[in-house]
Structure 1
Amino acid sequence: MLGSLAALAQPVVPAITPDPSRGAPLYVQHCAVCHGDAGAGDGPAALGLEPPPGDLRDAARLDRLSLHDLFAVIGQGRDGSDMPAFADQLDERQRWDLASYIAGFSAVPGVAASKPFALADLAGKTPAEVAASGGDVAAFRAQRAHPPLQQRGPGELIEHTRSTLQQSLQAYRAGEHEQAFDLSVGAYLEGFELVESALDNLDPQQRKITERALMAYRQGLQDGATVAQAEQALAVAAAELDKSAALLADGAMGDSLSFFSSLLILLREGLEAILVLAAILAFLRNTGQQAAARSVHIGWGLALLAGVATWAVAAYLIDISGAQRELLEGATALFASVVLLWVGVWMHDRRHAAAWQDYIKSSLVGGGGRFGFAVLAFFSVYRELFEVILFYETLWLQAGPAGHGMVLAGAGAALVLLIGLAWVILRGSRKLPLAAFFSANAVLLCVLSVVFAGHGVAALQEAGVLGTRPVTFFEFDWLGIHADAWSLSAQALALAGIATLYGRSWLGERRRAAAAKMAASSE
């Protein structure tokens, strides 16, 4: 696998700290067949290969290669040998993880250093260079095999977006259009998207302009733009990224900004979920079915556990990409939109039902009805919980140790406001007649259905599943309104569904009223 490498450009620093535990299964899958399980070059496929696979345990050879050299040869292959290039099979993060795992074959585990080496040094320097400068080479070998975790603040995230966009353009110039598009998606989701919340609190308009520029570049790649057009679109996006980076460059935030940033993250992302939960719980209480509320509480409780578990799995066990994250959010939002629409119209249909209590007892709160409410509660809460945790991770870094208390205070204040809103809905609904309550609840759920439809399509666009078609229209993110033809079309479709179902309900009422009138007159 290893050999002389051509001179490389400036060392590339990984955007995410390499994780050898993620590299281990990649080694087994792609490398062990030739290099052997222990890296000795004695794998079952090594017989007859010329030159033979290298011994990855040979410290003298590995000391002449940087982590970036290993990363590069994994992606490009080795000239004059049977080793293939893995750039089309492994993404950038996987290649860094694999390089770190391979570096561990020549390292002595558990060697401590007085202080951690910088990630740039671990990636760009060789052990031989560290030894020549009088550094602790044993500690350097150990650390590049298990790099200390370095969390990314806003500056690192925007730099990741910049560098990945440049890779995307290089791939597009080389005719690798699909890879270029995938890189453009990752550039946004693994970088800029995670600082959007912080940027929103500084300059919402700049956040929107930057996001549109990134989406325009991506859409140009998808539409088959010329290289010159792609370069121009990227130049515009890069200029907007520079402006956004300048706004975030101060690093630590003031106490008030830390507080309000934290408050708005949870308030904005939790508002829709709390409205759904409050509407369902008020409905169950006002119809005398408090026992069924347990299913709702189980639903949102499981959603909290699932959201935290998803984040933990993504952070420590497997790689959940930004595209997968947005795909999950988009799918759950659209599912919730359909369910909310159905429940809202269903409530509207029964606001005047004479045998309402009998209907509830016979069918609503049976196993199927309770399960349906639990599912709706689960998806309403789980939909964005994973992303909320990522937003708070970024805010935590940007606020710095001095601002952590204000971040927690902001989250606590948002939680109090959300609980207070739920209490107001539950208490206020008691004073409404049953018919008026059902009508108000139905309208609320149908409005949320339209909001979820807009958010769902926007998430799928961010994941790269759907394209973007910007139009001249106002934006209101809290209502899921985006100046995009596809997102607006989804909301228009939801509105059409509401109008159709409400129209059917109205005609049904007219027919029932006419039948009742005829029956009364015949008596």
Structure 2
Amino acid sequence: MLFRPARIIYTAIVLMILPTPPAYADEASDSDAQSILHMLDYVSVDYGGSVLYGKVLNEREYGEQLEFAEHAAALMKKLPEHPNQAGLILDAEKIAKNVKERSPADYVTGLAQKLRKDLIETYQVPVSPRRFPELLPALALYQQLCVPCHGPSGHGDGPRSKDLNPKPADFFNDVRMSQRSVYGLYNSISLGVSRTAMTGFSHLSDEDRWGLAFLVSNFRIPLEQIERGRKLWESRSYRGPTPDLIALTTLTGNEISSRYGEETKLVYRYLRSEPKALLTVPHATLIAASEQLDLAMKRYREGDQASAHQLAIEAYLDGFQPMEISLDAIDKPLRRNIEIEMMNIRQLIGSNAPADTVAKKIDLAKTLLRQADENLRHGNLSVAKIFLSAISILFKESLGGILVLASLMAFVVRIGQRRDRFYIYAGWGSASLLGGLTWIIATWMTELSGVIREITSGVTALIAASMLVYIGLWLYNRTHWQTWQSFNNELSDTQLRKRVLWVLALLSFCVVYRAAFEAALFYEALWVQTSTSTNAVIWSGMLTSGVLLLLMGIILFRFGLLLSGKTLFTSTSILLAMLAIIFSGQGISALQKAGIVDVSKIDFVSIPMLGVSPSSQALLTQLMVIGLLLVGYVISILRRKH
């Protein structure tokens, strides 16, 4: 009977996954703060159109502005207690008082914008999307939901507009739109606008609402201005400020012009039409990581432990991990320290540690992220470092796979079953194609989150580990000379032979797909972080690494053919067992990064290439695989004696 370890490994993994109990947040404060910001935005934009030199120009519009200002002041008192709350209430009442007294529009607008900024900073209100918006799906939504009122081009001249009072917003009104932020538009889409036909679209996903907000914010911008902004952004001569997502969503066109000038405004317009272009700045995702940590701290203080833990995971996977390659080449100890601190944050949140303890760790991580930001901003990757990085990515990710493939090929050829190489070819060939397809989808069609990346990596590693244990013990069980003599007779069993070959195909697929998947995403990150002039260097590094791996595979394959049957079976069995131990540790580590498996840190060395990490779950899994292999070897030896 063939030995079957896979179920035992899977059972062990399931037992080690310790679910975190769900937590539920009281989101009243977020809702109230968002409503206040929404009303302040309208006061800052529309108050000037209702009052001039102390006289009311439009009674209905002025009444709305007064109502917004007074309601914002009332809601401010309902927010959670905070040392700055009293000052915010006074400022809100001051705005309501000035609106009531018909003060100059510029003065009221300035007060409203300042209060909006202070409110965001005090209560850490989320004012940017968690992921870069997709504008193509947003355009389809606009055609479906917005055209009847706002018209196909956004002039406010849709089929229903003639029956509406007030008229729908004209997104080509440059004076008004220059006073609006993307976040203000997002609030209007989410909450609607009172006393108008504009209802809230809260049923849409957060991503869809942000996409619509980015889309309509740029309707009036000519394509030539967006193209000028693109050239400025990509130019080495651009010396303007580097925006992050918060700046991109909260600053109005007028604020950008007055603070930074017209060139920077063109850059902002381009980035709002192509938000993912922010990723072309090496340190952009580090900024996003800091923002995610701030939001995680806010959720944790509110009692939403599950959301805080997820945000901390996303801060690491989507914010910091893409920068690891470049940072490794500039300051490897700093990269390691950030990785450790961000893991500590996830562990503290998962263990329900005191909020102040978590806050201190987050402050430390943000300090390290700022340091990394500075290093990436001022440090340059030399051609030599880019070349070595390109070599190491493919070599590290594919070394285990090439060892497995060479060993399996030598085994199949050595036993005289050359025709069965097709199964191994089919396994690694389909894995290579699927890995390339995954890269294409992740790069050009949709954004593949860090959580999905790590889950995919972890699951394929654990499946490969199971197959390695299976094949390793199966081979070791046939190293005795008597079983070797009867081996060809055993393979004459067609059903058994096919089962073994399908296992070899699945194993080939898993080890190659995991390598192709990981390498493609790391190369994508390296391309983003370097200029186009170094593309040839990256390709040269990839080619060099591929040649080295191919040579290693050929040498191992040829060497395997020279060995006796017993020696080949024994050495291949031991090699596959070692790789099973490595893959099992790497698989658990990947699932820990994705938040699927808990992290219990222990004082131990970290050797990622060998799957060794300082966590009890990863080490316990490797020890269980070692124990399983030892049991299998002992059983095999006892069978030979009897």
1:362 to 2:475 alignment: no
* TM superposition shift of 1:234: 0.6
1:154 to 2:268 alignment: no
Give the 3-state SS of the residue equivalent to 2:279 in structure 1.
coil
- Residue 521 of structure 1 is matched in structure 2 by none
| Contact 1:41–1:53, Cα closer than 8 Å, also in 2 | no
17 and 324 in structure 1: CA distance in 2 versus 1, 3 angstrom threshold: closer
* TM superposition shift of 1:322: 0.7
Please, which of 473, 485, 504 is the counterpart of residue 635 of structure 2? 504
- Residue 244 of structure 1 is matched in structure 2 by 372
Q: Which amino acid aligns with 2:279?
A: Q
| Contact 1:306–1:382, Cα closer than 8 Å, also in 2 | yes
33 and 175 in structure 1: CA distance in 2 versus 1, 3 angstrom threshold: farther
Give the 3-state SS of the residue equivalent to 1:149 in structure 2.
helix
1:279-298 deviation line (CA, Å, top 9, x unaligned)? 11111111111211122122
462 and 28 in structure 1: CA distance in 2 versus 1, 3 angstrom threshold: farther
Query: Bigger CA drift: 18-27 or 293-302?
Result: 18-27
* TM superposition shift of 1:252: 2.8
List aligned pairs for 1:225-236, cutoff 5 A: 225-236=353-364
Whole-angstrom distance in 1 between the partners of 2:151 and 2:441: 26
| Contact 2:135–2:215, Cα closer than 8 Å, also in 1 | yes
Whole-angstrom distance in 2 between the partners of 1:188 and 1:35: 42
Please, which of 457, 479, 489 is the counterpart of residue 620 of structure 2? 489
Whole-angstrom distance in 2 between the partners of 1:131 and 1:472: 53
1:224 to 2:352 alignment: yes
How does the TM-score come out when normalised to structure 1?
0.83
269 and 139 in structure 1: CA distance in 2 versus 1, 3 angstrom threshold: closer
Query: Bigger CA drift: 450-459 or 222-231?
Result: 222-231
391 and 251 in structure 1: CA distance in 2 versus 1, 3 angstrom threshold: farther
Please, which of 472, 479, 484 is the counterpart of residue 351 of structure 1? 479
Whole-angstrom distance in 2 between the partners of 1:90 and 1:380: 37
26 and 232 in structure 1: CA distance in 2 versus 1, 3 angstrom threshold: farther
1:172 to 2:287 alignment: no
1:462 to 2:576 alignment: no
Whole-angstrom distance in 1 between the partners of 2:337 and 2:379: 22
1:415 to 2:546 alignment: yes
1:101 to 2:229 alignment: no
Give the 3-state SS of the residue equivalent to 1:9 in structure 2.
helix
* TM superposition shift of 1:411: 1.7
Give the 3-state SS of the residue equivalent to 1:474 in structure 2.
coil
1:465-506 deviation line (CA, Å, top 9, x unaligned)? 122111111221111111111110111111111112222212
- Residue 388 of structure 1 is matched in structure 2 by 519
- Residue 206 of structure 2 is matched in structure 1 by 90
Q: Which amino acid aligns with 2:135?
A: P
1:199-238 deviation line (CA, Å, top 9, x unaligned)? 3344443322211100111121122122211111112222
Please, which of 503, 507, 510 is the counterpart of residue 379 of structure 1? 510
Please, which of 464, 471, 481 is the counterpart of residue 602 of structure 2? 471
319 and 134 in structure 1: CA distance in 2 versus 1, 3 angstrom threshold: closer
| Contact 1:100–1:146, Cα closer than 8 Å, also in 2 | no
RMSD: 3.8
| Contact 1:108–1:138, Cα closer than 8 Å, also in 2 | no
Whole-angstrom distance in 2 between the partners of 1:332 and 1:494: 16
Whole-angstrom distance in 1 between the partners of 2:312 and 2:335: 17
1:251-297 deviation line (CA, Å, top 9, x unaligned)? 43112211211111111111111111111111111111121112212
List aligned pairs for 1:197-216, cutoff 5 A: 197-216=325-344
Gaps of 5+ in 1: 512-523
Please, which of 427, 432, 436 is the counterpart of residue 304 of structure 1? 432
| Contact 1:351–1:438, Cα closer than 8 Å, also in 2 | yes
- Residue 575 of structure 2 is matched in structure 1 by 444
Q: Which amino acid aligns with 1:253?
A: L
Query: Bigger CA drift: 65-74 or 127-136?
Result: 127-136
| Contact 2:177–2:217, Cα closer than 8 Å, also in 1 | yes
Query: Bigger CA drift: 200-209 or 339-348?
Result: 200-209
Q: Which amino acid aligns with 1:59?
A: F
1:151-179 deviation line (CA, Å, top 9, x unaligned)? 33432222221222112212222333322
Whole-angstrom distance in 2 between the partners of 1:399 and 1:144: 22
* TM superposition shift of 1:362: 2.6
- Residue 9 of structure 1 is matched in structure 2 by 117
* TM superposition shift of 1:459: 0.4
- Residue 68 of structure 2 is matched in structure 1 by none
How does the TM-score come out when normalised to structure 2?
0.69
